[in-house]
Structure 1
Amino acid sequence: MSSTELPDVLAATVAPKPGAVGVVEGERMDSVTLPGMTLSVRTRPAADTGLPPALYVHGLGGSSQNWSALMPLLQDVMDGEALDLPGFGDSPPPDDGDYSVTGHARAVIRFLEARGRGPVHLVGNSLGGAVTTRVAAVRPDLVRTLTLVSPALPELRVQRTAVPTGLLALPGVAALFTRLTKEWTPEMRVRGVMELCYGDPAKVSPDAFAAAVREMERRLARPYFWDAMARSARGIVNAYTLGGQHGLWRQAERVLAPTLLVYGGRDQLVSYRMAHKAAAAFRDSRLLTLTEAGHVAMMEFPDAVAAGIRELVADAGELRDPRAVRKGGGVSDDRRDPGTSGTRS
């Protein structure tokens, strides 16, 4: 579908505006207007026409830029788009102020319906993993396959290192943290985030660190940044306490799409021990464990994650060229790297 054929609720492709999130070569940014919200969308066009669509959904405090390392590795097998969830990246807050997991899932569903690209290969990280689990459970017609990288699913024993993030959900904590850290430079904040989210922050290149600092400066300049963070953190906590058919684990059991679960052995936010529980919950699942990865494996080990997705897509019968599954190595090849291992369940 060309841009001229899109419904009226969709805005045209726009050039990156001053202060916008970074756009790497081969990407473009779209602005999509939907009822009650406007979403910024990062597009990595497929290498060929007619390839199936994919949608990537970032985690708490992230943006579509979190997928820039992974998307080009898969552009020969899928046509990728990555959302900035409402209140993050270049997307303004939603009109109704709803930052719950259900509210974010509603944004994803509205986008897919308006874009007319479903069903898609759906990929989510952290908060985005919880959001995409809910989407796959309630709208199976929109999902071809599901890939979850360190999904934020309820844990009975939360890791101590994850507690400060959870505390953001408490009223007044975000404002207090802002006051206590007002002297922190963007560089200091980025180092803190990387120490929390990466398995080995020392492996981040100087260029990548500088880009992250620029991104942090942009985020801090937005008046709604901390409010979006606090309300989304509260949304995760509320989702953790929700029981019955709306509970995330119950919804994981309802997912019909073939599912790839990616867990990092050095993840300080989502416990590595939850990997096998997740593999048991999702009925058609496989597990990729990356022992040296932290919370953002798609940024630290994009080749390994891409290889896992290729095999998922191939086994689901969604790969146009079967030879493409081995491009860049498959999950079984990851054993050559002592920091990764591939297992299925």
Structure 2
Amino acid sequence: MPSTDYSQAAAPPASVPPAGPVLADGETSRTVQLPGLGLLVRSRAHSGARPGSGDLEPAMFVHGLGGSSQNWSALMASLADTVEGHALDLPGFGHSPPPDDGNYSVAAHARAVVRLLEAEGRGPVHLFGNSLGGAVTVKVAAARPDLVRTLTLVSPALPELPPQPSAVPTALASVPGLPALYVRATRGWEPERRTQALLSLCYGDPSVVGGPERDAYAAEYQRRIDLPYFWDVMIRSTRGIVNAYTLGGQHSLWRQAERVLAPTLLIYGVRDKLVSVRMARRASRAFRDSRLLTIPGSGHVAMMEHPDLVDRAFRDLRDEIAARVRGGGAAGGTVTATTDVSTAASGS
């Protein structure tokens, strides 16, 4: 494979293949065109509710590095009776084309989310974020509290220095020259091998992904890696996370977390190889109105591994807020509840 110059600008939107996303039963998708952006949005509404009707409170789901809106399908289905779910593919990911300006910083991704919410008039929403999407949604919630009803963070990519050793190879993707070496070293890998490596990194127990689902993952992974801009997006987005980790003052992600007003649910997997569970306590102290769920059997994508537990925790959050409103209590304050679900998760 010839060497690739990753310093070039991202590929234009026209390079996105015409094939649409694979949708779960009950899902629809649309592409929202904004100046300089095209965003694929996957939606799910309860069978008795009309999409966009206001029958249910809206929710927006933001995926992590290398992910897509499809990462939220299981949780959106589980919560379909509670919220009207919308999950976007961030610029350059999934079926969204690269942005015209080639900007993949955390701030740029946050602006894309804000622009989508404003364009469709969906705020305030229940905002969900995983990994990179967690950092993105923290910035959204801090800057635009009017757009956020609640914030649910699954293994959010908040600064962890030094990172745990298993996360270092991912961070190294931001180092010039190393991605090209990785591409050459793995060019002979079959899709199944690539998928197994990815599942082992992201899941606490990769064996929970069965044959047909694993085949679907492999096909989607191969589709993405064949895109001409795949590595450019991954490298620039990884650099965006690394850069965000180094920011200080009011731009620090931890400082941003302190500014979040929305009731916040934090979810961490004890087996997470990318975001250490040791950061959970710091996060629960940083957010002014937080509650914490740790899942011993889970890895980096609890909403995919344990959607039932994430569903239950979110419903508890909504019930708690409703009780506050009925009791005349303020939405602010600090509430930190640590939940041990080791018994519930032991069968996974």
Using structure 1 for the length normalisation, give the TM-score: 0.88
Residues 295, 261 of structure 1: CA spacing in aligned structure 2 closer, same or farther, 3 A cutoff?
A: same
Offset of 1:335 from its aligned partner? 5.8
Residues 295 and 342, structure 2, Cα contact 8 Å, conserved in 1: no
Q: What secondary structure does 1:312 align onto?
A: helix
Q: Aligned pair 1:85/2:90, yes or no?
A: yes
Match of 2:212, as an amino acid? D
Alpha-carbon shift at residue 229 of structure 1 (Å): 0.4
Kindly report which structure 2 residues correspond to 1:1-345, keeping only aligned pairs within 5 A, or say none. 19-49=19-49, 50-317=55-322, 334=341, 336-339=343-346
- 1:318–1:169 distance in 2 versus 1, CA, 3 Å: farther
Q: Name structure 2 gaps, 5 residues minimum.
A: 1-16, 50-54, 326-337
> How big is each residue's C-alpha offset from its partner over 1:138-189, in whole Å with a ceiling of 9 and x where there is no partner?
0000000000000000012201110010011112222221111111111111
Superposed displacement of residue 317, structure 1: 2.1
Q: Contact conserved, 1:159 with 1:269, CA < 8 A, in 2? A: yes
Q: Give the CA RMSD over aligned residues.
A: 1.9
Match of residue 334 from structure 2: none
How far has the Cα of 1:18 moved from its partner?
Answer: 5.8
Amino acid aligned to 1:158: P
Preserved contact between residue 174 and residue 227 of structure 1 (Cα < 8 Å): no
Query: Partner of 1:8 in structure 2?
Result: none
Shift of 1:333: 9.8
Query: How far did residue 204 of structure 1 move?
Result: 1.1
Deviation per CA, 1:31-68: give whole Å up to 9, x if none: 10011100001111234431100000000000000001
Residue type matched to 1:147 in 2? T
Question: What's the CA shift string for 1:89-146, capped at 9, x where partnerless?
Answer: 0000001101000000000000000010110000000000000000000000000000
8 Å contact kept, 2:295–2:341: no
Give identity over the alignment, percent. Answer: 61
CA contact (8 A) 1:43 1:82 kept: yes
Stretches of structure 1 that go unaligned for 5 or more consecutive residues are 1-16, 321-330, 341-345
Query: Residues of 1 paired with 2:63 and 2:121: CA distance?
Result: 21
d(CA) in 1 for partners of 2:342 and 2:299?
18
Conserved 8 A contact 2:67-2:94: yes
Contact 1:290 1:339 in 2 (8 A): no
Read off the aligned partner of 1:190 and give its amino acid letter.
Answer: T
CA contact (8 A) 1:200 1:293 kept: yes
